[in-house]
Structure 1
C-alpha cells in the first residue's frame, strides 16, 4: 500500500488475510469482526490483528455486529443468523431460511435481527425476547432510537417504530418505495432512509414532518450520521454527499460534495464530533476527509488518500485512532492515526 499524501503520523498497525471475501466489518471495544461472502466470520484483536475466534454462517453472510461491550456478536445472512459468545468462543447458528440482512444492538443485553418480514429482538445468547408483526415485505434494515427504547424497522412502503415488547408499530412513517439503508440521528430527531429509487427520505420524529432529497444518479444504499447527529453522509453517486442537519435540518439547503471514487463502496465517520470521514472505493482507494469543512455546494478534496490492491469492501473505526479496512481480496488492514486532529 502506498500513501499518496505522505504524513509520518499515519502507520499500518497490522495487516492480515482472511479466508473469504469480506463484505462487512464491525468494531467495538478491543475487537474487530469480519464477515465474508461465503459465510466465514472472523473475530480479531483490534490492537494486533490476532485471531480471537471464528465460525461459519451457512449460506453466506451479509452483516456483522459486535455488542457494545464486545462480549457477543451477531452475523446475518441469506439463510439466517448466528450468535457468538466471546467467553468460550461458542457460536449458535440459527438456520431459519429467512433472509436476514441486518442486526443492531440496543445495549449489551438486546439485539434486533432482521429475519424475513419480521424483526426479532434477542438476548445475547439468542433467546427471543419479542418480535414485530410481519411487515409487507422483507425487512431491509433496522435501528434503535431513544437509547434503545424504540426500534425502527424498514421494509417496502414504510419505516415502522416499535416500543419495547410491542409487536404492532406505535408510529408508522410511510414512503412508497424500497428502503435499502436506515440511519437514525443520535439525537433521535431524524430518521433517514436510502432508497432504491435514488433518493433519501427524511422524517422528523417530533411531528412526522418529512422531506425527500431526490435526483441521485444511483440508488442510495449507504448512509450514516456522525456522533453529533448534525451531519449525514450518503452514497448514490461518485460524489459522497454530506448534509447539514443542525438547526432546522437540511430543507432548502445544498450538501457538501466529496469526490474521490468512481464507485463508493464504504463510508465511516470517525468517532467524535470532528467531522472526519473515511470513504472507500471500488478502485481500492481510501480517502480521509474533513467532511464538514467549507460551505454548502462546495466540492471538497480529501486530506489524504491510501491506495490498495483490491476494492474496498468495508470500513470501521476501532476507536478514534484506528481505521480498519477490509478489501475484497481478503486483506484486512488497520491504520493508526495518533491524533484526533490529524487525518
Structure 2
C-alpha cells in the first residue's frame, strides 16, 4: 500500500516562467522555462548561483558532469554558461535545438579534458554539433533527413547516437558520416542508451519503443502503447528501462538476453505520466510525476513481470502538473511544477523510500 507523506520540502522557490526541464549535477540544479528563463541553483539551499535567458524559449537544459558548465537548447538556438565567471554564450542559429548532452570525461581526449568539462553535443536542426566547453565547434554530423530530436553519448563519450526520422545514426569523434545506422521508419521522440552500450532504444510517435542490440543490429519493437512514447530512461545498471506512453509507467527488464518475449512491470499512479527519474545507484528506485501534480516513489524492479505495482511513497498532491524531476545525488529529489514552483525533498536512505 502506498503512503502519502506530508514531509515539507527542504526548499521551495518560484521562477517567473513555466519549467520544461531540469538537470542536476554535483552541487547544482538547473531549471529551464518555456519562455527561455534558465536558473542555476544551489542544490542544498535553492539559492541562485547563475542565470541566463535563451531567446525564443527553452526545450532542454544539461549541466556538465563536473557542474562547471551548462548547455540550454531551444526552438531558436542554444546557450552555454560557465560557472567560474558566469560567462554566457548565446547562439541564435534559428535551428530547432531540442537536446544537449555532455560527454563522459573518460572518453574526452586529454587536450579537451585539460580545458575542463570537455565536449557537449547539441541538436541543431538536422545536425548534431559537438562543441568544446567554451562553445567552439569541434565537428558536426552530416545533415539527417529531418530534425534531430534527441542524442546520447556512448562508449564513455567516444561515440554519439543521434535520433532523427527513420533511424538512429552513430558517429565516432570527428566523423561526419555515421559509422553505424539503426533504421526504423518512424519519428523518434526520445532516445535512451544503456550505460553498458549494449542497447539503443527509441520512444516513438507511433506509440512504440524500438530496440536495437548494438552488437549485431538485431531489433525488437514493443508496440501497443495507447499514447506516444516520449520519455525513456535506463537506470545506472542498464538492466531496467522505464517508459511512459500510457497511464502506467512500464519498466522493462534488459538483463540476460533482454526483454524479448517478456512483459513489463506496470506502475500506476498518474492519469498521465509527465516525468521520470531513476535514483542514482542500483536499488531500482524510480520517481515519477503526473499531470495531476502527484510525485510517486517506486521500488520499480520489485515483483514479477505483468505485475502492477503500487507506489512505495507519494509526495503531497499539488494543484499544478509536474513538469520535470531530477535527483541531485541519491538523497535529494528536485521537482518542477508547471506553475513555476521548484522544490527539493530529502530522501534519506539509499535502500528504502
Do both share a fold (TM > 0.5)? yes
**What does residue 312 of structure 1 align with?**
322
**What does residue 101 of structure 1 align with?**
98
How many pairs align? 339
Task: Give the drift of 1:4.
Answer: 5.1
Distance (Å, rounded) in 2 between the aligned partners of 1:273 and 1:341: 9
Distance (Å, rounded) in 2 between the aligned partners of 1:329 and 1:6: 22
Distance (Å, rounded) in 1 between the aligned partners of 2:132 and 2:35: 26
**What does residue 327 of structure 1 align with?**
337
Task: Give the drift of 1:279.
Answer: 0.2
Equivalent of 1:56 in 31, 53, 57: 53
Matched, 1:24 2:34: no
Equivalent of 1:74 in 30, 51, 71: 71
Query: Runs of 5+ in structure 1 lacking a partner?
Result: none
**What does residue 120 of structure 2 align with?**
111
Matched, 1:133 2:142: yes
**What does residue 13 of structure 1 align with?**
10
Task: Give the drift of 1:5.
Answer: 2.5
Task: Give the drift of 1:6.
Answer: 3.5
The answer to whether the 8 A contact 1:31-1:70 is kept is yes
Matched, 1:233 2:232: no
Distance (Å, rounded) in 1 between the aligned partners of 2:214 and 2:20: 32
Distance (Å, rounded) in 1 between the aligned partners of 2:253 and 2:171: 27
Matched, 1:211 2:220: yes
**What does residue 184 of structure 1 align with?**
193
Distance (Å, rounded) in 1 between the aligned partners of 2:218 and 2:308: 29
Distance (Å, rounded) in 2 between the aligned partners of 1:206 and 1:176: 21
Distance (Å, rounded) in 2 between the aligned partners of 1:6 and 1:281: 17
Matched, 1:338 2:335: no
Matched, 1:33 2:35: no
Task: Give the drift of 1:309.
Answer: 2.4
Distance (Å, rounded) in 2 between the aligned partners of 1:65 and 1:113: 10
Distance (Å, rounded) in 1 between the aligned partners of 2:5 and 2:273: 23
What is the SS of the residue equivalent to 2:156? helix
Distance (Å, rounded) in 2 between the aligned partners of 1:322 and 1:312: 17
Which range is displaced more, 85-94 or 176-185?
A: 85-94
Runs of 4+, deviation exceeding 3 Å: none
Matched, 1:276 2:275: no
The answer to whether the 8 A contact 2:3-2:312 is kept is no
Equivalent of 1:88 in 85, 89, 94: 85
**What does residue 271 of structure 2 align with?**
262
Task: Give the drift of 1:88.
Answer: 1.2
Task: Give the drift of 1:11.
Answer: 5.0
The answer to whether the 8 A contact 2:128-2:140 is kept is yes
The answer to whether the 8 A contact 1:277-1:289 is kept is yes
The answer to whether the 8 A contact 2:163-2:188 is kept is yes
TM-score (norm: length of structure 2): 0.95
Distance (Å, rounded) in 2 between the aligned partners of 1:116 and 1:236: 25
TM-score (norm: length of structure 1): 0.98
The answer to whether the 8 A contact 2:5-2:314 is kept is no
CA RMSD of aligned residues (A): 1.0
